[in-house]
Structure 1
Amino acid sequence: MKEKQLTSDFQVRLFTRMVLIRTFEEKIVALCRESYQLPGMQILANGQEAVATGVVSALEPDDIIVSNHRSHGHLLARGADLNSLMAEIMAKADGVNHGKAGTLHLSVPEINAPMTSTVVGAGPPLAVGAAFAQQYQALNGVTVVFFGDGAAAEGSVHEAMNLSGIWKLPILFVCENNGWAGAQRFEEHSAARQIHKRAQGYDMPGQSVDGNDVEAVYHLSLELLEHCRSGKGPAFMETMTYRMRGHGEQDHQHYVNPEELEAWALKCPIIRYRRALLNAGILDKNKIQRIEQDAEARVAAAVAFGDASPYPESDTAMTDVFVQAFNS
């Protein structure tokens, strides 16, 4: 497939989205250090912004995303409202799920992100259901499901890949291989050194890509999404990236060699793309400063919105939880 020529405006949008995601999650890091700001476990994807931005930017409006516990980047790249997203992370009533989901089970149906599960490996079976519905209704949409290298060995993921291969479902499996599953190195938990090759066993194409190169991720996403959209069945993409923070913000990464972190910091997708756009004359220092300031202002406004939002009242505990069946 011939690579799509990107306009300079689109390239700036890719960069802007990555900056916004990084700024949003860095604010969460800061809020985690304050008392009584964020309940629960905060699991971030700093360093993986090119995957979320590259994949989601290749989607059509009717496409569905199914995310996991590192979902903020996927949702922001898809256009989730910063204010209500931050409020939900704070467990406030004005959040996208009225404070009931918190950060780990976010659902934002208005951007076609109907479900997120923090259960390791739970996303792909959910994606099978969504893709089956798309196929059954003869829709043109594709379901994209994100999961990590640790989840890739779960039986639920293999079952989902097998079933989607049998039924030729329109699913793009995106494995964000960030080198770590909890505190385990990739080579300690995976017998396969190239996870995307497992796709062959389920009769689907599988390819690997530099997950810190946003344009490479975008182009491969377009190619594999076209395969899924054309009725040929599922596809698999392994994005090679790195987890720059611990499994959660309570994890201080004592098990990681500092030199390894320093080496990957030099491969930061945002720094890398900023340099490329500067060298191409698409960005200049003033424009970069405006993009960064705008991201900071938007995130600050989201925090203020979340702070001002009340906590849910106890009498709303059972609302928006169950769907009442109707009599046929």
Structure 2
Amino acid sequence: MASGGKQQFPPQKQETQPGKEHGMDPTPQFTNPDYKPSNKLQRKVALVTGGDSGIGRAVCHLFAQEGATVAFTYVKEQEDKDARDTMQMIKQAKTSDAKDPMALAADLGYDENCKKVVDEVAKAYGRIDILVNNGAEQYKASSVEDIDEPRLERVLRTNIFSYFFMTRHVLKHMKEGGSIICTTSVVAYKGNNKLLDYTATKGAIVSFIRGLALHLVGKGIRVNGVAPGPIWTPLIPSCFDEEETAQFGSEVPMQRAGQPFEVAPSYVFLASNALSSYYTGQVFHPNGMAMSTKLSASTDVHAACDCQDT
């Protein structure tokens, strides 16, 4: 995190996770008025985990604008208001031939909960064409010695177990032409000494993307990822202190945090066969050049392309 950098946001802190989007100042920008939808996902069914806020909300909204029927998950009692707000936004944005959206409360760190979510979505819509594995949580730690077993298990369950569980159940309802998109992070490439367990899971997601892409390529199902840099989402005030939150994003060359609407088009591109039919095993990097001062030129090019080493 930045130290002594330019203030980006009013100092603020949320005491619990998951963070609340409606409690942030300013509220993250989930939509871009200049975006022109063109039915890129018409007649597709999309399931987005952690879709009630942040990047997930922006992705749900953009998918709906592009013609998809959208279902998303959220944490019961913790994210109810954000989920209701997102549902209303999707209903307003959806096209006439899309079905009504669904919001499903679940702790996706457990296999049986993932199965229930997938079965409910498949029963309602008949299939699942797009899966976005996006849910995550993170906590600061000054030392690896501060990360005990219950916390490590919690972060692993949310950030990587759920990706495995959701994928294994969705595949029963996904046909050739399907797309799986996983949210990783810039920290998978540059590291973060205060977010060791979170960073470890984001690195695991990159490897999961590459391996799963090879596993499913013969079935005509593409697997890709998005590795955002510092994006203004509820994770930030719920994880960092007031000073860090105020300076969030000032450390990258663009000298600002990104907004969710600046990341969401990457997911549209990767979800659309018309746009990305020759992309699999790849990771996009909307990060404000967050890696440019951390990595050598050759490594930076490789990370930006994220090509398979095969």
Normalising by structure 1, we get a TM-score of 0.39
TM-score of the superposed pair, with normalisation by structure 2: 0.40
Whose radius of gyration is greater, 1 or 2? 1
